[in-house]
């Protein structure tokens, strides 16, 4: 008594906590906990209750651990005073962990007593506690009480019992056999509270595994037609949304009632659920869809941001199949883009992107970008990300005008807070490799980027600059002015770049330099046209060509021819300018520029930079003296040795002239295993051998390619010798061999043809290209906003590799895993089929049609069910005993035995009577 | 199913925390902090839904509403209707209002047990039980009577009135 007199109440604790100066809260809590630890042991129930109440509060609101007090909750729960009991059960439901609190089982008896109590509030308290703390053992032991409550005459109690059943089924699926029939019976009730609880329960169960509940479709239909309760209707709609995909005939049945509800325009929640139902499951019903889209429009026009947001979401679902719905509401969607609500903006953006097609992509991107520039950086990047993702989708499916897209990418990189550099970088390079026709524009975009010194200072665009530099180097033959490129690539401010980007710059500078020298020498050779030199070079070229054809990759004669065209007058302005530039002085200037800028870098502490700079410098050292020779030659001083200079330059140039193409993601998988190479063999036992004879290991490896190794070593040995030409021709042949291997290995034989075709210029297979475009047009036709007739140019070919596509398409397998719960449900539903359907026949005469459909579906179930019954008469017992075996692990022997007994007797009853009847099943169970 | 109900004030202090699936208490505190971070960054007059996949897994949503100094938060999955959840929140607040006549934050602070009792009458095990605030009130009144009658030593904490 004294204890309780001086004990601080929960209110005191709360007041104390509120008066605590900041920072002293933990001390106060610790002190209170000390008090609680003392008080909670008190023999006086009231003192104990108050202590537990305080502890629960501190646990729930301040995160104090109270697992140590679990037993005290159990103790107090047995109090006869309702308020104590309530405190005890609240603490249990807030703190007990169903899977690890071991004192839960000590509550079994108390809960059973309370569930059978005559006081409705005792029962309801026990039920809500049970739902929070139930574990399989508790559920198993309390199922009989729960079953009784499901038939309780007090509706207040019955609906709570129904709500608890969900948890019990999850934990202990066998409870379904006992309880499910009563739950289904409750569907016939007139009490809204109970009906709502049952429908809610069935909705949760259906979401998990719809198939088992198909036989109940007639009941649900009846509710759908008759009920006026929004809560119930929403849940029934949710159930049908799950059932219709399994039984499409249901769709025709329910579409009219749903439209009825929608037309009535009662609660917005119900209206939205109807809309969602129609757009997800009933979108093939034209009139219903019209109605739903109309409602969505009302939502979008509403001032309530919630309705706007949900409306956009519904529209996004429709958009997958019926683009017209979005187009009809286009202006509202675009308006939503500038909404204050970030949710709505994002949703609208996604919706806009889903409408993108080949014809409107340019317009949409322009609108979005002008919008992005006005909005905050975060949303701007969101927009950019969305655009890049959509445009690159399925190998740039929607892009017809690559010139536009490439220059668009270039512009985007210049947006100050653009953080999508990685995407731009990847796409620029990817387009370069895949879309041949876009390269000219790509090169000019890359030039603009590389040449702009301001961009070098922005770390966000370094990735883009790397891509631009790579493009400038790789496709330098398309460049108007290689000299300015060279200057740009070597400008002093490149020191601001990260080493990895800078090494790309140097490598690109190498390619540009190579190209300039080669063009110069070749031009020179052509102009002077020395017979001997020419023939030799031609024969050499033929050789190279034959390698190329053997390799079947595109070293591309066309490439070389193009080259000639460009140089000799294909494009007059560039030709003349280049010709002007290609003088001895300019070339020497270029070489000197490279030398002065890269000279210091050969001592860089970044290996990549050092390596590449040394490469260029080495090349210059090699070429510079020869160039003088070449110039001499042009002056008419023919010396046979010096002819080799252009040859060498040409050979090195050829090294770079091979076109790089996209490589399939799973190329490695297609490399056939060479004979004698056992990749999958376990090398574990090799260790024993290797331990003894270590030197045998390298030998065994060198056996794989003895020739290669020999040649390599020869190559290395000969390299320093004066005969520069010889080893390089050898290296060319090695290269050719390598290419050949590429051709054979990287792509499978059947693919090779496709790739070859794709690499050809578009103009040649004109018919085919046009066909492809026409197909595309046909495909996208329904989605066009406005048809543009002035598309003169066919879409450039985008190189695709078949298998990449395959790899990207995720095949979703729908797996139907019958779990314990659904198995039990089906059993009960099918077992009860006779009584249920007979009662339905008598009651639902007006609904004959639906009953028939459902019964036909039911019949198939029943058929299989019956077969099961007949043929697996013993199978059932086997199955159950198997199930018990599983459970045996965590059940004590004694209980299992008694349960086994119950089980068997029940099964016997079910087995003999099969259908029906409550009266025979329940008494057996309640024994 | 409803996954949880949280009431917290505009400083992120929890006033009521109820999860319908067991969550360790540290996790609860962490979730409350993350939710508060999301909520306080949102402007007024924007939609009440937040996607919280990152906190609760796919398809889980959160609806919140501000009442004076308090955030009411319901967390639920896709077997619930978003607008219906807003309605249910309204029922909850209405009931609190009837129960404490003009409810304010302090009522909820000082009536920990009673708020839980009210919530338990509306939602059980994550399922909606009762959507009429007068029905809820009836049950809660009966329970209070029951508590008072069986308990002479500790008076059940009356509605906190002397503000």
* Global confidence as pTM: 0.68
A620/B39 Cα distance (integer angstroms): 64
pLDDT digits (tens, 9 = 90+) for A365-387: 888 888 888 888 888 888 888 88
pLDDT digits (tens, 9 = 90+) for A470-490: 988 888 888 888 888 888 888
Nearest CA of chain A to the CA of B23: how many Å?
8
Q: Count the domains in chain A.
A: 2
Question: In sequence order, what E strands does A290-379 have?
Answer: none
Task: Take residue A376 and report the two structure tokens written for it.
Answer: 């905050």
pLDDT digits (tens, 9 = 90+) for A625-649: 777 655 554 444 444 444 556 677 7
ipTM over 0.95: no
* B contacts of A14 (beta carbons < 8 Å): 109-110, 112
Range(s) of the domain holding residue A56: 1-95
Nearest CA of chain A to the CA of B18: how many Å?
7
Whether chain B has a CB inside 8 Å of the CB on A343: the answer is yes
B16, part of any domain: yes
A8, part of any domain: yes
pLDDT digits (tens, 9 = 90+) for A186-231: 898 888 999 999 999 999 999 988 988 999 999 999 999 998 899 9
- Count of Cβ atoms closer than 10 Å to residue A800 Cβ: 17
Mean pLDDT of A311-320: 90
Three-state SS across A744-773?
Answer: HHCCCHHHHHHHHHHHCCCCCCHHHHHHHH
Residue B127 to residue A90, Cβ atoms within 8 A: no
Range(s) of the domain holding residue B48: 2-149
* B contacts of A208 (beta carbons < 8 Å): none
Residue B152: pLDDT above 90?
no
Nearest CA of chain B to the CA of A53: how many Å?
8
Residue A272 to residue B25, Cβ atoms within 8 A: no
Residue A87 to residue B143, Cβ atoms within 8 A: no
Contact call for residues A387 and A368 (beta carbons, < 8 A):
yes
In CATH, what number is assigned to the domain containing residue B143? 3.30.450.60
DSSP type of residue A555: -
* A contacts of B127 (beta carbons < 8 Å): 163, 166, 197, 200-201, 204
Q: Answer with the one of A29, A63, A95 that is the final residue of a domain.
A: A95
* Nearest C-alpha neighbor of A207 from the set A228, A180, A178, A236: A236
Question: DSSP string spanning A485-501?
Answer: HHHHHH-GGGGGS-HHH
B52, part of any domain: yes
B155, part of any domain: no
* A contacts of B15 (beta carbons < 8 Å): 61
Phi/psi at B104 (nearest 5 deg)?
-135, 175
Overall size of chain A counted in residues: 927
Q: What H or E segment, with its residue span, contains residue A164?
A: helix A155-171
Helix (H, G, I), strand (E, B) or coil at A361: helix
Q: Which of B113, B131, B146 sits opposite A53 (nearest CB)?
A: B113
Residue B116: pLDDT above 70?
yes
Q: Answer with the one of A71, A95, A119 that is the final residue of a domain.
A: A95
Residue A341 to residue B47, Cβ atoms within 8 A: yes
A51, part of any domain: yes
pLDDT digits (tens, 9 = 90+) for A26-65: 999 999 999 999 999 988 899 999 999 999 999 999 999 9
A919/A893 Cα distance (integer angstroms): 30
A921/B32 Cα distance (integer angstroms): 48
A405/A350 Cα distance (integer angstroms): 20
Q: Count the domains in chain B.
A: 1
pLDDT band of residue A350 (cuts 50, 70, 90) is: confident
Residue B84 to residue A230, Cβ atoms within 8 A: yes
By CA distance, what is A240's nearest residue in B?
B79
Residue B113 to residue A203, Cβ atoms within 8 A: no
Task: Tell the burial category of A553 from Cβ atoms under 10 Å away from its Cβ (0-12, 13-18, 19+).
Answer: buried
* Nearest C-alpha neighbor of A6 from the set A58, A59, A42: A42
Residue of A9, A26, A57, A82 for testing the chain B interface, max B β-carbons within 10 Å: A82
pLDDT band of residue A799 (cuts 50, 70, 90) is: confident
Residues 206-225 (A) with a CB less than 8 A from some CB of B:
207
A847/A26 Cα distance (integer angstroms): 66
Residue A690: pLDDT above 70?
no
B41, part of any domain: yes
* B contacts of A53 (beta carbons < 8 Å): 112-113
Q: Residues A830, A833, A834, CA angle at the centre, nearest 5°?
A: 145
Residue A561: pLDDT above 70?
no
Residue A925: pLDDT above 50?
no
A739/A732 Cα distance (integer angstroms): 10
Q: What is the mean pLDDT of chain A?
A: 73
pLDDT digits (tens, 9 = 90+) for B20-46: 999 999 999 999 999 999 999 888 888
Whether chain B has a CB inside 8 Å of the CB on A98: the answer is yes
Phi/psi at B71 (nearest 5 deg)?
-95, 125
pLDDT digits (tens, 9 = 90+) for A585-608: 788 888 888 888 888 888 888 888
What pLDDT was estimated at residue A841? Answer: 41
B163, part of any domain: no
Of the given ranges (A109-118, A158-167, A408-417, A908-917), which has the lowest mean pLDDT?
A908-917
B112, part of any domain: yes
Question: DSSP string spanning A370-409?
Answer: HHHHHS-HHHHHHHHHHHHHHHHHHHHTT-S-HHHHHHHH
């Amino acid at each position: 008594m004294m204890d309780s007199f001086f004990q601080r109440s929960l209110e005191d604790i709360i007041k104390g906590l509120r008066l605590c100066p900041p920072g002293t809260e933990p001390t106060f809590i610790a002190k209170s906990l000390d008090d609680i630890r003392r008080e909670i042991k008190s023999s006086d129930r009231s003192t104990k209750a108050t202590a537990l109440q305080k502890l629960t509060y501190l646990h729930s609101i301040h995160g104090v651990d109270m697992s140590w007090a679990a037993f005290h909750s159990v103790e107090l729960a047995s109090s006869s005073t309702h308020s104590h009991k309530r405190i005890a059960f609240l603490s249990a439901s807030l703190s007990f962990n169903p899977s690890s609190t071991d004192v839960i089982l000590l509550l079994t008896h108390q809960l059973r007593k309370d569930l059978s109590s005559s006081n409705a509030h005792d029962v309801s308290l026990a039920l809500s506690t049970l739902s929070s703390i139930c574990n399989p053992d508790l559920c198993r032991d309390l199922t009989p009480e729960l079953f009784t409550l499901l038939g309780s005459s007090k509706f207040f109690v019955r609906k709570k019992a129904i709500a608890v059943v969900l948890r019990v089924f999850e934990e202990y699926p066998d409870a379904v056999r006992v309880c499910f029939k009563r739950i289904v019976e409750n569907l016939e009730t007139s009490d809204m509270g109970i009906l709502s609880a049952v429908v809610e329960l069935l909705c949760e169960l259906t979401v998990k595994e719809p198939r088992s509940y198909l036989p109940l479709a007639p009941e649900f239909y009846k509710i759908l037609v008759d009920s006026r309760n929004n809560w119930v209707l929403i849940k029934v709609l949710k159930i049908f949304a799950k059932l219709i995909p399994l039984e499409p005939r249901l769709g025709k049945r329910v579409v009219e009632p749903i439209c009825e509800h929608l037309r009535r325009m009662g609660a917005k929640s119900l209206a939205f659920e109807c809309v969602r139902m129609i757009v997800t499951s009933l979108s093939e019903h034209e009139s219903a869809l019209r109605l739903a889209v109309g409602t969505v429009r009302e939502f979008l026009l509403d001032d309530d941001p919630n309705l706007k947001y949900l409306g956009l979401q519904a529209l996004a679902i429709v958009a997958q199949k019926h683009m017209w719905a979005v187009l009809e509401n286009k202006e509202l969607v675009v308006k939503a883009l500038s909404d204050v609500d970030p949710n709505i903006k994002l949703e609208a953006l996604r919706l806009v992107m889903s409408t993108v097609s080949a014809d409107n992509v340019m317009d949409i991107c322009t609108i979005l970008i002008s919008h992005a520039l006005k909005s905050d950086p975060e949303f701007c990047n969101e927009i950019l990300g969305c655009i890049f993702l959509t445009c690159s989708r399925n190998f740039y499916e929607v892009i017809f005008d690559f010139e536009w897209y490439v220059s668009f990418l270039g512009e985007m990189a210049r947006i100050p807070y653009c953080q999508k550099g990685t995407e731009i970088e990847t796409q620029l390079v990817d387009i370069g490799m895949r879309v041949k026709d876009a390269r000219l524009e790509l090169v000019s975009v890359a030039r603009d980027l590389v040449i702009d010194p301001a961009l070098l200072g922005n770390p966000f665009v370094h990735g883009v600059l790397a891509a631009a530099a790579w493009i400038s180097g790789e496709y330098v033959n398309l460049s108007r002015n290689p000299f300015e490129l060279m200057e740009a690539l070597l400008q002093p401010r490149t020191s601001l770049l990260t080493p990895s980007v800078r090494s790309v710059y140097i490598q690109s500078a190498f390619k540009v330099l190579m190209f300039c020298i080669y063009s110069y020498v070749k031009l020179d050779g052509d102009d002077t046209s020395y017979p001997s030199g020419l023939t030799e070079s031609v024969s050499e070229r033929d050789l190279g060509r034959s390698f190329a054809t053997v390799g079947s990759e595109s070293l591309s004669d066309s490439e070389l021819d193009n080259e000639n065209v460009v140089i000799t007058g294909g494009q007059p302005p560039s030709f003349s300018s280049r010709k002007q530039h290609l003088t001895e002085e300019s070339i020497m200037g270029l070489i000197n520029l490279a030398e002065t800028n890269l000279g210091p870098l050969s001592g860089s502490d970044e290996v990549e930079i050092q390596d590449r700079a040394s490469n260029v410098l080495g090349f210059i050292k090699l070429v510079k003296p020869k160039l003088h020779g070449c110039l001499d030659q042009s002056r008419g001083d023919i010396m046979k040795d010096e002819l080799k200079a252009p040859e060498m330059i040409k050979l090195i140039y050829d090294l770079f002239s091979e076109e790089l193409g996209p490589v399939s993601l799973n190329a490695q998988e297609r490399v056939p295993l060479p004979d004698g190479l056992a990749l999958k063999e376990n090398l574990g036992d090799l260790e024993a051998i290797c331990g003894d004879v270590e030197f045998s290991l390298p030998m065994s490896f060198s056996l794989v390619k003895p020739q290669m190794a020999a040649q390599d070593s020869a190559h290395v040995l000969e390299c320093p010798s004066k005969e520069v030409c010889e080893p390089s021709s050898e290296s060319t042949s090695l290269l050719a061999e390598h290419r050949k291997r590429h051709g054979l290995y990287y792509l499978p034989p059947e693919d090779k043809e496709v790739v070859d075709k794709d690499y050809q210029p578009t103009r040649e297979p004109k018919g085919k290209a046009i066909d492809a475009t026409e197909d595309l047009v046909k495909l996208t036709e329904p989605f066009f906003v406005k048809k543009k007739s002035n598309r003169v140019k066919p879409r450039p070919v985008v190189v695709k590799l078949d298998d990449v596509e395959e790899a990207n398409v995720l095949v979703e397998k729908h797996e139907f895993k019958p779990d314990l719960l659904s198995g039990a449900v089906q059993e009960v539903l099918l077992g009860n089929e006779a009584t249920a359907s007979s009662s339905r026949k008598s009651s639902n005469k007006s609904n004959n049609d639906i009953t028939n459909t459902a019964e036909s579906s039911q019949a198939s179930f029943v058929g299989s069910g019956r077969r099961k019954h007949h043929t697996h008469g013993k199978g059932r017992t086997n199955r159950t005993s198997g199930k018990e075996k599983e459970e045996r692990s965590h059940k004590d022997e004694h209980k299992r035995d008694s349960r086994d007994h119950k089980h068997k007797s029940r099964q016997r009853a079910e087995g003999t009577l099969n259908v029906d009847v409550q009266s025979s099943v329940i008494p057996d169970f309640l024994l | 199913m409803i996954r949880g109900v949280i009431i917290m004030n505009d400083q992120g202090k929890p006033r009521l925390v109820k999860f319908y699936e067991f969550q360790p208490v540290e996790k609860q505190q962490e979730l409350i902090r993350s939710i508060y971070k999301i909520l306080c960054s949102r402007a007024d007059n924007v939609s009440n839904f937040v996607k919280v996949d990152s906190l609760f897994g796919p398809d889980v949503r959160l609806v919140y509403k501000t009442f004076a100094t308090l955030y009411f938060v319901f967390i639920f999955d896709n077997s619930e209707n978003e607008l219906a959840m807003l309605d249910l929140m309204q029922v909850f607040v209405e009931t609190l209002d009837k129960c404490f006549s003009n409810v304010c934050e302090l009522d909820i602070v000082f009536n920990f047990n009673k708020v839980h009792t009210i919530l338990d009458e509306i939602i059980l095990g994550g399922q909606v039980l009762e959507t009429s605030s007068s029905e809820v009130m009836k049950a809660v009144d009966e329970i209070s009577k029951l508590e008072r009658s069986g308990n002479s030593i500790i008076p059940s904490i009356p509605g906190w009135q002397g503000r």
